[in-house]
Amino acid sequence: MAASTEVPRPIIIEDECKGCGRCIAACPRKVLRPAQRVNRRGFVPAEYVGEGCTGCAICFYNCPEIYAIEVHTADKEGGQ
């Protein structure tokens, strides 16, 4: 009954992303890819394919832009 329906997922803030691709290369599940568009700064941002994320946060730790990507997990959504 208390089980969360939240599934882990990366949230990419497109306009903060520099399109370096580090998160895409680092993701062990290969669930990130370059988007089919450019952001306001002229970079091709990363995007989530929509499923398969485990919430490992490796993408977050490999991103040099502190505001570009975060990972939502059931734990985080539930507060501390």
Residues that bind ligand SF4 (CB under 6 A): 10, 12, 17-23, 27, 29, 31-32, 45-46, 53-59, 62-63, 65, 68-69, 71
Amino acid making up residue 42: G
**30, 17, 18: which is closest to 56 by C-alpha?**
30
Rounded-to-integer distance, Cα 4 and Cα 19, Å: 32
Question: Which CB, 2 or 46, lies closer to ligand SF4?
Answer: 46
- Supply the DSSP string of 36-51, one letter for each residue: SS--TTS---EEE-SS
Work out how close the CB of 17 gets to ligand SF4 at its nearest, in angstroms, rounded to a whole number.
3
Work out how close the CB of 80 gets to ligand SF4 at its nearest, in angstroms, rounded to a whole number.
19
Question: Which CB, 6 or 57, lies closer to ligand SF4?
Answer: 57
